[in-house]
Amino acid sequence: MATASFRFYEELNDFLAPDRRYREFQALCARAATVKHMIEACGVPHTEVELVLVNGESSGFDRLLHDGDRVSVYPKFEAFDVTPLLRVREHPLRHMHFVADAHLGGLARLLRLTGFDTLYDNHFADDAIEAIAAADGRIVLTRDRELLKRRTITHGCYVHELKPERQLREIFDRLDLARSARPFTLCLECNAPLRAIDKALVEDRLPPSVRERHQRFSTCDVCRRVFWEGSHWVKMHDLVGRLLGD
Over 173-234, what HEC string results?
A: HHHCCHHHCCCCCECCCCCCEEEEECHHHCHHHCCHHHHHHCCCEEEECCCCCEEECCHHHH
Nearest residue to 119 (alpha-carbon basis) of 145, 94, 137: 137
Mean pLDDT of the 192-221 span: 92
Query: Looking at residue 246, what is its pLDDT?
Result: 55
Interhelix angle 164-175/231-244, rounded to 10 degrees, is 40
Average pLDDT over the chain, rounded to an integer: 87
What residues contact 64, with CB distance under 8 A and at least 6 apart?
A: 32, 33, 34
Kindly report, residue by residue over 43-83, the tens digit of the pLDDT: 999 988 888 999 988 888 999 999 999 999 988 754 444 44
Q: What is the CA radius of gyration of the chain?
A: 22
Kindly report, residue by residue over 215-240, the tens digit of the pLDDT: 999 999 999 999 988 877 777 778 77
Query: Looking at residue 147, what is its pLDDT?
Result: 94
Q: Report the C-alpha gap between 224 and 191 in whole angstroms.
A: 12
Q: What percent of the chain has pLDDT over 70?
A: 91
Query: Looking at residue 4, what is its pLDDT?
Result: 96
Q: Strand order of the sheet with strand 226-228?
A: 194-197, 217-220, 226-228
Which CATH topology does 2-85 take? Answer: Ubiquitin-like (UB roll) (3.10.20)
- For 14, 34, 64, 225, the CA distances from 145, given in Å and listed in that order, are 12, 19, 23, 36
Query: Looking at residue 78, what is its pLDDT?
Result: 46
- Residue of 197 and 87 predicted with greater confidence: 197
What residues contact 27, with CB distance under 8 A and at least 6 apart?
A: 3, 4, 5, 6, 38, 41, 42
Alpha helices in 88-202 (DSSP H): 105-113, 126-136, 145-148, 164-175
Kindly report, residue by residue over 143-173, the tens digit of the pLDDT: 999 999 998 888 889 999 999 999 999 998 8
Domain extents in the chain? 2-85, 98-180, 194-244
